[in-house]
Structure 1
Amino acid sequence: MKKITFLLILIAFVSCDKSQEKLSIMTYNIRYGNANDGKNHWHKRKEFLSDQINYYHPDIFGIQEGLQHQVHFLDSVLVDYNYIGVGRDDGKTKGEYSAIFYNSKSFTAIENNTFWLSETPSEISVGWDAAMERICTYGLFENVTTKQQFYVFNTHFDHIGTQARIKSAELIIEKITEFNLKNLPVMLMGDLNLTPEAKPIQLLSKVLNDSKSISKTKPFGPIGTFNGFKFNKPVTDRIDYIFTSRKNITVEKYAVLSDSKNCKYPSDHLPVFVEVSIN
């Protein structure tokens, strides 16, 4: 009888553990490698930025604005990670990536792709009134131990096109619905170039949860995420987000990370970091 009771408790513990799988997620606009950035040039900040990511060691993180050499640098120094994604200018290596890095010891990428935020998402294109090509990279990931699957979408909205940002939000919602036929957990992250009251953010918030608004613990860090490399000014513009599906993800913690070194930020954006439970 004691053995049976022990086995039942063990089974219940394992089931509970599996049903509450924990994940740490980060989104980070790393600032493209601009030769005119002077004291904030990529080569002067890349080691601190990569050390920062490695310290928090998220299970999954998405970057925006990364050029090929920046993506390759992160891939070379963050040894536990693989990545998915392409350059937006040619669908291969040219232009900025919205790459998704994942801890390859714990997860595999079952499938992945990139679509353009435009009227022709399967083609390299500029959408609506956008100033340039914009993309969304996504992957279906699987935990190698539990076999739990989930989707991650990573994007960077246009900084000028008002219509483009509305249509981009609508398109991503459409694509999530199209791809996620099994109603798996979904996370959408990125630099959306909009503050929370903007229409595209409101559109996304009707379908997905803004992780900050549902965090079980009090959000930590500055209100905003865009610092513009201005170390001595408050960070108040919140334009970087992590959204989650409504029914199967609980946000345990939310933070905006304002780490600095010698009074300098590692990027002109602060990363957003969340801990979630997949139910």
Structure 2
Amino acid sequence: MRYLLLLIVLLVTVTNCTEQGQSSAMTYNIRYATERDGINSWEHRKNQLIQTKPDVFGIQEGLHHQVQYLDSALTDYKYVGVGWDDGNTGGEYTAIFYKTNKLDVVDSDTFWLSETPDTVSVGWDASMERITTWARFKERESNKEFWVFNAHLDHIGAQSRLNSLKVIRQFIDENNEDRLPIILMGDFNAEPESDPITYLNWLMDDTRTISKRKPKGPVGTFHGFDPEHPLDRRIDYIFVSSGIEVLSYEAILEQNEGHFPSDHLPVLVGYLLD
């Protein structure tokens, strides 16, 4: 019964976000599977992760078997993305899932956030490999195209975080010749006043700031599975370029008897392509 009630609440959230022809996008660090998490380990929480169903969403930290679970459970979705260890199934993914009845993939790939983005590599002062997965989509109903970039920036290297965004910007400058709208999402491991987010604010719009409706949910997006956490640390974002009207923003606070589906909150936006 409690899962049914949670499902109803989250489906109402998405319905409100996508009414009147709107689309929806979400970013979600799902926390990699490790038995060290005890009661918060993957097997105890994986069923809660699939309740919210936006048109497109990016995950961070998903290991191959976690991505495969989501892929099998979300029968109306497909995904693009690879693991960062080997460009195949090793290591964590920044996979992008999309509804197949609404979106078609025109092109997609993954690059590394380093000085050599075309090869498996660790950049600057990063603690490990970091990647961005991207997809160029076409809306089936409108035939409009747009890009989605899903990134996971390093949690240790400050230089890496800033330079990683510059690598993403360079890729966009070199490949978005048609100047299509862009959604950039992910766990940036950087708070709003930091250099990386300040840099990004020069280039794109923070959806929380420009949402037509008042943002919902906590300001913070990371709690580390602590139900008493003040939720004042915001490190998960969705940014957009021109050509996208942001109608709503929500950091979804979802719990089941005091337990979270992940150590991050998902961030959901409703939008329209111009």
Is TM (by shorter chain) over 0.5? Answer: yes
Partner of 2:16: none
Q: Which residue of 1 aligns with 2:135?
A: 139
How many angstroms apart in 1 are the aligned matches of 2:82 and 2:104?
18
Q: CA deviation at 1:49?
A: 1.4
Which position in structure 2 is the counterpart of 1:274?
269
| Map of 1:12 onto structure 2 | none
Q: Which portions of structure 1, spanning 4 or more consecutive aligned residues, are displaced by more than 6 angstroms?
A: none
2 CA distance for matches of 1:178 and 1:31?
A: 32
Which residue of the partner structure matches residue 221 of structure 2? 225
Distance in 2 (CA, whole Å) between partners of 1:31 and 1:59 is 21
After TM superposition, give the deviation of residue 175 of structure 1 in Å: 1.0
Counterpart selection for 1:192 from 184, 188, 192: 188
Distance in 2 between residues matched to 1:257 and 1:21, nearest whole Å: 22
What is the identity, as a one-letter code, of the residue corresponding to 1:211? T
Q: Map of 1:102-113 to 2, 5 A cutoff? A: 102-113=98-109
Q: Which residue of 2 is the match for residue 38 of structure 1?
A: 38
Higher mean alpha-carbon deviation, 83-92 vs 165-174, is at: 165-174
- One-letter code of the match for 1:178? E
Q: 1:88-128 CA deviation, whole Å, 9 max, x = no partner?
A: 00000000000000001111111000000000000000000
Q: Which amino acid aligns with 1:35?
A: E
**Structure 1 position 177, deviation (Å):** 1.4
- Percent identical among aligned pairs is 51
State the partner residue of 1:22.
22
SS of structure 1 residue aligned to 2:35: coil
Aligned partner of residue 37 in structure 1, secondary structure: helix
Q: Which of 52, 55, 62 is matched with 1:59 structurally?
A: 55
Query: In 2, are the aligned partners of 1:21 and 1:278 still within 8 Å (CA)?
Result: no
Q: Does 1:73 find its partner at 2:69?
A: yes
Residue of structure 2 equivalent to 1:206: 202
Partner residue, 2:152:
156
Counterpart of 1:14 in structure 2 is none
Please tell me whether Structure 1 or Structure 2 has the larger radius of gyration of its CA atoms: 1
Pairwise CA distance, 1:78: 0.7
Q: Per-residue deviation at 1:21? A: 6.1
> Could you give the per-residue CA deviations for residues 30-73 of structure 1, whole angstroms, max 9, x where no partner exists?
000012110001000000112x22xxx20000000000000000
| Contact in 2 for aligned 1:86/1:98 (Cα 8 Å) | yes
> Equivalences for 1:93-108 in 2 at 5 Å?
93-108=89-104
The alignment of Structure 1 onto Structure 2 pairs a total of residues equal to 255
SS for the counterpart of 1:118 is coil
Tell me whether 1:242 sits opposite 2:238 in the alignment: yes
Deviations 1:151-177 (A, max 9, x none): 000000000011111100111111111
AA aligned opposite 1:34: T
